[in-house]
Chains A and B, each alone.
Chain A
Amino acid sequence: MTARTLEPPLSRADDTVSVMIASGGRQSPQKRRDRVAGMLFVLPAAVFIFAFMLFPLVYSGYLSLTRYNFVRQSTPEFIGLDNFARALQDPIVLTAFANTAVYAVSYFVIVMVVSLSIAMMLFRKLRFSTFYQSAIFMPIVVPLSLAGLIFVWILQPNYGLLNHLLANVFGLPGLAQAWLSDGTTAMAAIVVLSLWATIGFLTILFLSGLQAIPEEILEAAEIDGAGGWRRFTEIIIPSLRPTFVITGTWGVLHSLKVFVEPMVLTDGGPGTSTLVLYQHIYVTAFNYFDMGYASAIGYLLGALILALVGLNYVVSMWKADKDV
C-alpha cells in the first residue's frame, strides 16, 4: 500500500525525464511502445474518418475542377476553374444564395433572441422549471424529417391544425391560407420548423452559460443599483462571450446547412422561392447528375461557412480583453 501511495510523484518525475530524453532524439523503450500503442488505439477511428470524410473532401475538390456528368461520361473531364466562374454567374445559384441568406438571417436572429430569453426565464428557477425545460428540449430528439411531415400536416389548408385554430378558435378566418403555396409563408414555415427543432438545444447551452457566471458578479451589479436592462446588457451579455462563440458557431452552421426542412416541406418551391444552396447542390448532383458543378458549389458553400464561423468568433470576442 505504502509503495503505491508513494508511486505517483515518482512516476511523474520519471515521465519528465523520459520526455526530455525523447525530445533529445532517444526514446526509452516504454515511451516508444506507448506512442505506438497510442497510434494503434486511434487508428480504427482515423481510418473511418479518412475514408468517409477526408478522402471524399479531396476527391470533391478534384471533381470541382472537372466537367462530370455521372450518367453520360465515364470519366471526369478537367476544365480548371470554369465551374466556379459558372456558379458565380448562374441565376439559380444566386437565387439559392439569396434564399439561404434570407433563411440564415431570420433563423439566426430569432433563434438567438428566443433561446437566450427562454434561458433567462429558466435561470430564475421558478416552480415547474424542470417540466418547462424538458418540454422545450424534447423536439431535438424527434427526427427532423418526420417533424417536417407533421408540419406539412399542421399547415395543410383544409384540415390542418393551424388554419383550424385561426378560423375556428381565434376567430380570424381571414388569416387562414395555403401556407406552403406562397413563397414568403413557405419560407416562414421552414424557419419555424427549424426553430421548433433547435431552440431547446440552444436554450440549454445559454442556460449553462448563465449558470457559469460567478455569483459575485451578479451581486456586485445589484449593489451598484444596476437595473434589470443595464445589468443584462452590461453584465450578463459580456459574461456570456464564450457561450456566444459556441451558440453562434452552431447557429451559423445550422443556418447554412439547412436542407431537410425545405426538402420535406416545400421541395424548394413554389418555383424556386425556398430553394437553398445545400438543396441546390443535392439537386444538381443527384437529379441532374452534374457532379463536377455540384462539387464546385459545395466548395463555395464550405468557404462561406468557414468565413462566417470566423466572423462569429471575432464578433463574439470583440473587445473581450478591455472588459476583463
Chain B
Amino acid sequence: MSDRSLAQRRLPTGVTSRIVSHVGLALAALLCLAPVLYIVLNSFKKPEDIFQVPPSILPVRWTAENYESVFASGGFTAYFTNTVVITVVGVGLVVILSSLAGYGFAKLPFRGSGMLFAGILATLTLPLAILLVPMFIMENATGLLNTQLGLVLPNVAVCLPFAILIMRKHFADIPKEIEDAAEMDGAGRFRRWWLVMVPLTRNGMILVTVITTYSIWGEYTLAKTLATVPQAMPLSVGLTLLKSEVWEYGVLAAVITLAILPPIIIFLIFQRKIVDGVTQGAVKG
C-alpha cells in the first residue's frame, strides 16, 4: 500500500481500464485537434486539389499561394484591422476598469456594494438576445452603429462582470498589512492602488487579459447585430459571409488559419495559467 503512488491509490489501475482510458483520451484529443489541422492543411493545398475527388488529407502539392492571395488582394484587411483594434482597445479598457472596480469591491466596501456586486454577477446569466434590440436602437441614434467604438463599448460591458469577479478575488487575497504599510508612507488612495496593489495582482491581470482577448476576438453576436456593412465587420462575422462562395475556399482556409492562430498561440503560451485561473474563477468564485 505504502509504495503505491498517490495517483494509483485514487482509482483502480487494472491494465484493461488503463488501456480503455488511453484509447478514450487519445480519441477525444484527435477529434478536438482534427478540424483545426484540417483547415490548416487545406490552406496549403492548391485550389484545384481542394476539390479533388476523393479528397486527400495531406496536401498533394504544398503551396503558399493561398496566403499570397490573402495579402495581395487586401480584401480581408478591414476585417483584420477591425478585429485587432476592437480586441486591443476592448481588452485594455476591461483590464483597467476591472482592476479599479475589483479593488473597490475587495478593499473599500461602501453601503450597497455587496448588492451592487451581486447585481453585476447576475448579468452573467442574461441572454444577450434581450439586449440586442435596445443596443441597436441606441447605437443607431448616437451614430455608433458600424463603428469600431460601437463594438468596443458593448464588448467591454459584456466582459466586465467576469473580469471584476476575478480581479476582486485577487485584490482580496492581498494581506491588509501590505496596504497599511503603504498608507503609513503617506501615499494616497489612488497612488497606493497604482503603485502597490496593481503590481501584486499581476496574475489576475494576465488571466483577465487572456480570457477577454478570446471573448472579444471571437465575439459574433454583438458584431453580427451592430456591424451591418462589411467594412465595419470583424473576422468572426465577415468571414461567414463567404460561406457559400466556393471558389474562395483555398483563400478562405488561409484567412481562417490566420484568424484562429493568434488565440491558439496565446493558449499555448499561457495554458497553465488559464486552466488554473478558469477553475479558480469558476469554482471558488
Contacts and interface: CB of A to CB of B under 8 A. Distances in A.
Contact of B97 (A45, A253, A306): A45
A302 B129 CA distance: 9
A150 B239 CA distance: 11
B221 A46 contact: no
Q: Is the interface of A mostly helix, strand, loop or mixed?
A: helix
A55 B267 CA distance: 35
A124 B35 CA distance: 27
A33 to B, nearest CB: 8
A34 interface: yes
Contacts of A41: 100-101, 103-104, 108, 193
A148 B111 contact: no
Contact of B164 (A45, A144, A256): A45
Among A150, A167, A228, the most chain B Cβ lie within 10 Å of the Cβ of A150
B130 A243 contact: no
Given A138-B267, A204-B275, A278 B125 contact: no
B271 A134 contact: yes
A244 B122 CA distance: 19
Interface in A127-167: 128-129, 131-154, 158-161, 164, 167
A38 B177 CA distance: 19
A138 B278 CA distance: 14
Contacts of A45: 97-98, 100-101, 120, 160, 164
Contacts of B214: 140-141
Given A35-B111, A49-B120, A143-B260, A42 B24 contact: no
Nearest to B271: A134
A4 B38 CA distance: 61
A84 interface: no
A219 to B, nearest CB: 7
B35 A150 contact: yes
Q: Is the interface of B mostly helix, strand, loop or mixed?
A: helix
A60 B22 CA distance: 51
Contacts of A111: none
A201 interface: yes
A112 to B, nearest CB: 15
A159 B240 contact: no
Interface string A45-84: 1101101111111011001000000100000000000000
Given A48-B160, A150-B39, A285 B133 contact: yes
Contact of B283 (A36, A121, A149, A205): A205
A125 interface: yes
Given A42-B104, A49-B160, A161-B38, A135 B127 contact: no
A123 B11 contact: yes
Among B113, B189, B214, B266, the most chain A Cβ lie within 10 Å of the Cβ of B189
Nearest to A142: B260
A136 B263 contact: no
A262 to B, nearest CB: 12
B208 interface: no
Return the 9 tightest CB-CB contacts between A and B, nearest first.
A143-B218, A38-B108, A41-B104, A52-B157, A56-B134, A135-B29, A208-B279, A45-B101, A298-B130
Given A45-B120, A60-B133, A124-B21, 11 more contacts: A7-B181, A38-B109, A42-B104, A42-B113, A45-B164, A56-B131, A126-B18, A136-B29, A199-B28, A228-B12, A291-B133
10 contacts: A7-B184, A37-B189, A42-B116, A48-B97, A60-B130, A138-B267, A139-B36, A141-B214, A146-B256, A228-B11
